[in-house]
Structures are given as C-alpha cells and as structure tokens.
Amino acid sequence: MKIHEYQAKELFQKFGVPVPQGKVAFSVEEAEKIGAELGRFPVVVKAQIHAGGRGKGGGVKLAKNADEVKKWASSILGMTLVTHQTGPEGRVVKKLLVEEGLPIEKELYLSVLPDRGTAKIVFMASEAGGMDIEEVAAKTPEKIIKVYIDPLVGIKGYHASELAFGLNLAGDLVKQFSAMVSKLYKLCVDYDCSLLEINPLILTKDGSVIALDAKINFDDNALYRHKDILEYRDLDEEDPFEVEASKYELNYIKMPGGNIGNMVNGAGLAMATMDLIQQAGATPANFLDVGGGASAEQVENGFRIILADPSVKGVLINIFGGILRCDRLANGVVEAAKKVGINVPVVIRMEGTNVEEGRRILDESGLNLITAKDVSDAAQKIAAIAKG
Ligand code: GDP
Ligand code: MN
C-alpha cells in the first residue's frame, strides 16, 4: 500500500525524523491559511499524489509571498499532473502539502528496504540526490552506496558511520544523520515497510539534516497488524475497479492498453493465460485471479468487474477446476451474465472437477458462450474475436 508524502511525514515525526513544518490542505483557502500560519516565506506548495516526479511535472512550487501561495495552490489543486510515474493519463491533484521552504545546501538520496536477494535490510544512499536520481542509478551506479543489515543483528553504529562517510558528511552532520538512520530503520521494521525513500534528504545552509520529501510503501500482507496505517488508505489514488475487486478479495489488476478481459483461477495459470493471449496476437486488459476456493458469488463479482471495463472487447475464462469446482464456476458465470448482461463475446475453457456438470449448466443457460477445447484454442478464439 502506498501513502501520501504528508502522511509519511507524520510517521517520520512520530519516530523523531526531522521534516519541514507544514500541513495538508484540501482547498485553496486552507492552503492560504497554512501559508499565513507558517509566518515566513518562501513557502512550498506540493501536489499530493501517489507518484513521484512531481517537481519535474510542475507539481512542486516555491511561493515567495502570500499571493504566490494562492496562485500556486489554485493552479496545482485540480490539475492533472503527469509525471514519469503516473503514465500519460496523469493524476488529478486533490490535496496539497503546504510547508516552510528551506534553504538547501545539498540534496542527498536515502532509502531503506528489504532486499530479497540477501534477506537483509538495505540502506541505499547517494550524494547525487534530487530529481535526477533515476539517471544517476542508470548511468553512474557507483555513486549509490549500499549498506546491508542483518535483521537478526539489527542496526549498529558502524552501519550509520559507513553511510555517513560514504556521503562525505563530517562533524555534527554525521551525528544528526546517524540518529536519523536508526530511526528510519526502526520505522521500516516496526511498520513492515516495503520501501522507505527520502529524495532529497537535504543539508540546509544552517547545518541541519532534514527529510524534504518522504515516500513509504507498506507490505500489504502485513497490514492486518497496522490498523493505524489502514486509515491512511486513499481510495482516490487507486484504480476504481481494483478497489471494487478488493472488497470481494479478488486479485484484480488493471492492464492499461489491453482489450481482453481475463478470469482465471490461480496466479500461475493467470500469467500463462496472459502470455497465450499475447502470443495469439491480442492484449490482456486485466489480470483476475479468482483464487483456488472462489465462491459463485466471487466469480459473479469478478465477471461483473471485468465487464464494467469499457476497454474490454471480449472475455476469456480459463478455469482449472480443483478446489473451485467447474459447476460452481458455471453457476457464477450464469448468475453474473443474467444480472449484468453480457455485451461482449465470452470464450470459456474449463477442465477438472465436475466439468461435465459445469458444461451442462453453461449449455442449458441459453447464453451465448463460446466453448474452447483447450487453452491455446481459447486464446486463438478470443484473439480472432478481438481482431474482429
Ligand atoms: P518529487 O519531484 O515528487 O520527488 O518532489 P520533491 O518533494 O522531491 O520536490 C522536488 C524538488 O523541489 C526538490 O528536489 C527540491 O529541489 C525542490 N524543493 C522542495 N522543497 C523545497 C524547499 O523547501 N526549498 C527549496 N529551495 N526547494 C525545495
Ligand atoms: Mn522527491
């Protein structure tokens, strides 16, 4: 799960990681009020969306006076912000973070995340922080240093020193930075973060180390033990079909640019099905794994969600009936079709437990369903339909 910068900064404060003073605003008036409360300029007006690259996209502006706060808040709030992380469709900005503008001496990069390869927690840091970090990583990866921490041992002073010296920090900055590193480590572990990133981490002209930006992603599988984080969830930032699917515990992921809806049981089979569709010359519009033990109701909801997507020009149902018996699937499909109304061709490939019963239900339903004899036949048929 992703959260906004202003929420990540709230957590930083809880853990004692220094951030600029500021508040979230939902309207231009609120932004102006916060700007006035800060009491000095410059003030920074920042778009809050679940994507980075806002600065380059025009979503972060420095206001020199109250008029400029109003001007930037009015232009950023409601804008469709396009960044390299939003895709070409962009994101509508519905919230702003208004904070004190700080005098920047240097922009560093710092992140913490679990590293699967080594099964450790890794800190990544670079002196070349700021808006071009992706380019640094691609062209001069040696400018990014990595320090690995065994979670059973925990973070030690030497880990922080290695990072601090790698960043060429000296004197009191080392002290401030090292304290911050331990706090970030604790936050990352305590909250089961999958990524915690500060870019830029700044050194100010008056000698402080401050997290100017803040990004945190959480491991969804651990959210059950972090009820406070669940409150940070912002449904505005999620695909509406994915939000709907999550209500029924369906694993649905929208695939931009595709036109074939997919309903499959099991993630492996879903991946293989998407490959076959692609091979047959069509493109999947979604990934939907109804799971091994799906109920007729889940199948019905999955089907309804797929059909609600206007880019779907045909649906391929590929089920291997193990725990999810074929008759149950067939009932779910028939129920959904009756309620929702099928507006596109549907190809079904079904094998496994109670397959005869499942086929009988589909045949007797009177619905216009195309049955396939095997998976590649199904992919060919749906691709032919998509091509018209
Ligand atoms: P991102 O582009 O989405 O990563 O947004 P950031 O929060 O990283 O902001 C982008 C850039 O805006 C930073 O790299 C800074 O150069 C600049 N910026 C943000 N806040 C301040 C500030 O308080 N003072 C100054 N001078 N620049 C700022
Ligand atoms: Mn940033």
- What are the C-alpha distances in Å from 365 to residues 242, 353, 362? 29, 20, 5
As annotated, the active-site residues are 109, 197
**CA–CA separation, 164 and 177 (whole Å):** 7
What's the confidence (pLDDT) of residue 281? Answer: 93
Q: Which ligand is nearest to the CA of 38?
A: 1
Give 212's pLDDT tier (boundaries 50, 70, 90). Answer: very high
**CA–CA separation, 388 and 386 (whole Å):** 5
Compute the average pLDDT of residues 334-339: 85
The distance of Cα 60 from the centroid of its chain, to the nearest Å, equals: 21
Ligand 1 pocket residue status of 49, Cβ below 6 Å: no
The proportion of the chain whose per-residue pLDDT surpasses 90, expressed as a percent, equals 77
Q: Give the amino acid at 278.
A: Q
- CA atoms lying within 13 Å on the CB side of residue 315: 24
**CA–CA separation, 302 and 289 (whole Å):** 9
95-128 pLDDT per residue, tens: 999 999 999 999 999 999 999 999 999 999 999 9
Weakest mean pLDDT among 30-34, 64-68, 292-296, 313-317: 292-296
**CA–CA separation, 263 and 9 (whole Å):** 39
Q: Is the pLDDT of residue 349 over 80?
A: yes
**CA–CA separation, 354 and 360 (whole Å):** 10
Which of 230, 296, 302, 235 lies closest to 264, judged by CA?
302
Ligand 1 pocket residue status of 53, Cβ below 6 Å: yes
Atom number in ligand 1 closest to CA 215: 4
Token pair for 221 = 């599988």
Atom number in ligand 1 closest to CA 5: 7
The strand pair at 346-352 and 314-321 is best described as: parallel
Is residue 291 classed as helix, strand or coil in its secondary structure? coil
Ligand 1 pocket residue status of 114, Cβ below 6 Å: no
What's the confidence (pLDDT) of residue 154? Answer: 97
216-268 pLDDT per residue, tens: 999 999 999 999 999 999 999 988 888 999 888 888 998 988 999 999 988 89
How many CB atoms within 10 Å of residue 146?
14
SS3 for 78-92 is CCEECCCCCCCCCEE
Q: What does the mean pLDDT of the chain come to?
A: 94
Compute the average pLDDT of residues 363-376: 88
Token pair for 247 = 């209500």
What's the confidence (pLDDT) of residue 290? Answer: 86
DSSP class of 50:
S
**187 with 17: CB under 8 angstroms?**
yes
Give 44's pLDDT tier (boundaries 50, 70, 90). Answer: very high
Instruction: Tell whether omega for the bond before 151 is within 30 degrees of 0, i.e. cis.
Output: no
149-171 pLDDT per residue, tens: 999 999 999 999 999 999 999 99
Rounded to two decimals, what is the model's pTM?
A: 0.84
Q: How far is ligand 1, taken at its centre, from the CA of residue 212, in Å?
A: 7
Ligand 1 pocket residue status of 213, Cβ below 6 Å: yes
Give 314's pLDDT tier (boundaries 50, 70, 90). Answer: very high
As a whole number of angstroms, the longest Cα–Cα distance in the chain is 80
What's the confidence (pLDDT) of residue 296? Answer: 75
The 8 Å CB, 24+ separation contacts for 155-164 are: 155/181, 155/182, 155/185, 155/186, 159/123, 163/110, 163/123, 163/125
Which of 346, 306, 343 lies closest to 330, judged by CA?
346
Report the run of H or E that residue 264 belongs to, with start and end.
strand 260-264
- Per-position DSSP letters for 90-121, written without gaps between them: -EE---EEEEE---EEEEEEEEEEEETTTTEE
